[in-house]
A = this chain, B = another copy of it.
């Protein structure tokens, strides 16, 4: 019970002929999908993989990526999805840390194989995900399926380890988050409610499939026997085309993707006419873009999903009905919504005591989604996890009606003249100024104040906006000490992590003599 293959059995039993996956021209039914997962599991077993073994993957999105997940679980083994934005060094660290001997890899990443093998000496077996001729020395994905009879489902469940998800690569060494079956199982069911999936759902995988943001929405699709439509990676045109061609009902996009989408040349709201639900999360969404979505897409249920990998990942969600710009509750759309059913949170001060309602503290959270700990990191586990309660590192306040407002990553703030300035608050204010496409606020060294508030703004063509006008605009919303003291205008998008978060570390480096300050 609470095993991740259960929804697959349910879908294959109830609706065997219904499409499970659509990838380009290729459509596979739930019966085929189950059969392929059971054969691929047998193929892994015949190559010496056992239940409990970690099995990595490095690739762009594909239907085979989803088959990898379910085949590994069918075998009773452990998924280890690699971050496609990370350096070889970071992924090699993850491979060595997890102990994975087997890795799936696609055409995009196979040129890195020599480098990866040099750094991850434990790797013995590579499996090639793509259609082209399988490179020398690799096992062929389709051959493993064709040459092996379906095996019995190992039926792992509950506390059995389901995956090691590496996170935090932008802040130092990656941490392997240990996620048992019950944690992902819970998130699949929880998301099925929160994003309202049904057997008619066609979910578009455009966000990277290695990440649990897409992963949880994916589980919520399988839970109800919906259809997975998959594109290799996010591009504005790719998303618009896939939505039109497949009458997509649901997708999860990170805010930077949404920004790129609605600012693309091809975009008109009509392109999204089939969409019933758009889930956003992974990082704060600029208020300007959210207002645009609410105005332009009244038929789309917008859902802000907030969480983190350590919770596998959901903590709270803002339901479609709370995305309103007028009336007595017009502030709610700026929140991350209400605590998800099945989740408990508290907002605490540095001593772990509850803060008074409405005041800012750190969110600690607990649910059946809570991780078991960090792999090989007892110290960090001890600091983060206490009897199922996870210290999120996120600062937030809760209003009288239980709506949660994230102030910022507790540590992502500027300390100027002894005052704490949360970057997100300033970014929200700047983002609503006309012409601002993207903005990141960081602290830079200042002789007088220690740090000064600095805004890096992306504009069309990098044109310089009137910084005094921006300051005047922000003055309506922000205390004086929070106003940016300096501005930088750029044409190119800000550097992003694999999860779509702005890599503030990279932005800070030039100001701090190349040495790190803070985290992001």
Of the listed residues A2, A193, A367, A398, the one surrounded by the most CB atoms of chain B closer than 10 A to its CB is A193
Residue of B nearest to A223 (CB): B341
List, in ascending order, chain B residues with CB within 8 A of A401's CB. 15
A400 to B402 CA separation, bound complex (whole angstroms): 43
Interface readout for A334-377 with B: 1 if CB under 8 Å, 0 if not? 00001101111110000000000000000000111010000000
Q: Which of A5-13, A51-59, A421-429 contacts B (4 or more CB under 8 A)?
A: A5-13
* Residues 307 to 359 of chain A near chain B (Cβ within 8 Å): 319, 338-339, 341-346
Q: Is A208 an interface residue (CB 8 A)?
A: no
Interface string of A173-199 (1 = CB under 8 A from B): 000000000100100111011000011
| A496 sits at the interface (CB 8 A) | no
Q: Check: A225 CB closer than 8 A to any chain B CB.
A: yes
Distance in angstroms from A56 CB to nearest chain B CB is: 28
> A417-453, CB under 8 A of B: which get 1 and which 0?
0000000000000000000000000000000000000
> Does A388 make an interface contact (CB < 8 A)?
yes
Q: How far is the CB of A434 from chain B (nearest CB, A)?
A: 36
Q: How far is the CB of A301 from chain B (nearest CB, A)?
A: 13
> Known contacts being A366-B1, A367-B1, A388-B1, is A343 close to B190, with CB within 8 Å?
no
Q: Say whether, besides A2-B368, A367-B1, A342 and B189 are in contact (CB < 8 Å).
A: yes
Tell me if B192 and A14 are in contact (CB < 8 A): no
Q: A193: which B residues are within 8 A, CB to CB?
A: 189, 192-193
Q: Are B341 and A398 in contact (CB under 8 A)?
A: no
> With an 8 A cutoff between CB atoms, is A17 at the interface?
yes
A1 adjacent to B370 (CB under 8 Å)? yes
A79 beta carbon closer than 8 Å to chain B: no
Task: Tell me how far the C-beta of A233 lies from the nearest C-beta in chain B, rounded to whole angstroms.
Answer: 29
Chain B CB within 8 A of A145 CB: no
Q: Residue A224 at the B interface, CB < 8 A?
A: yes
> B368 to A1, Cβ gap below 8 A?
yes
A339 to B199, CA, bound (A): 11
Which residues in window 370-398 of A have CB below 8 A to B?
370, 388, 398
Docked-complex contact A402 and B199, CB < 8 angstroms: yes
Q: Which residue of B lies closest to A17 (CB)?
A: B400
Closest to A321 in B: B198
Cβ-defined contact, A344 with B402, below 8 A: no
Point out the residues of chain B lying under 8 angstroms from A1, CB to CB: 182, 366-368, 370, 388
Given contacts A193-B193, A319-B198, contact A223 B342 (CB under 8 A): yes
Q: Which residue of B lies closest to A194 (CB)?
A: B193
Instruction: Give the shortest distance, in Å, between A305 (CB) and chain B (any CB).
Output: 16
Cα distance, A13 to B388, chains bound together (Å): 18
CB distance from A388 to the nearest CB of B (A): 6
Contact residues in B for A10 (Cβ distance below 8 Å): 339, 341, 343-344
Give the chain B neighbours of A223 by CB distance below 8 A: 341-342
Bound-state CA distance A162–B400 (Å) is 32
What are 9 A-B contacts defined by CB distance under 8 Å? A1-B366, A14-B338, A14-B339, A189-B189, A189-B193, A189-B341, A192-B193, A193-B193, A199-B402
Beyond the given A9-B344, A13-B345, A14-B339, please list 5 additional residue pairs across the A-B interface where CB-CB is below 8 A. A1-B368, A1-B388, A198-B319, A199-B402, A223-B342
State the A residues within 8 Å of B (CB). 1-2, 6-7, 9-10, 13-15, 17, 182, 185, 188-190, 192-193, 198-199, 223-225, 319, 338-339, 341-346, 366-368, 370, 388, 398, 400-402
Closest 3 A/B residue pairs (Cβ):
A14-B402, A193-B193, A223-B341
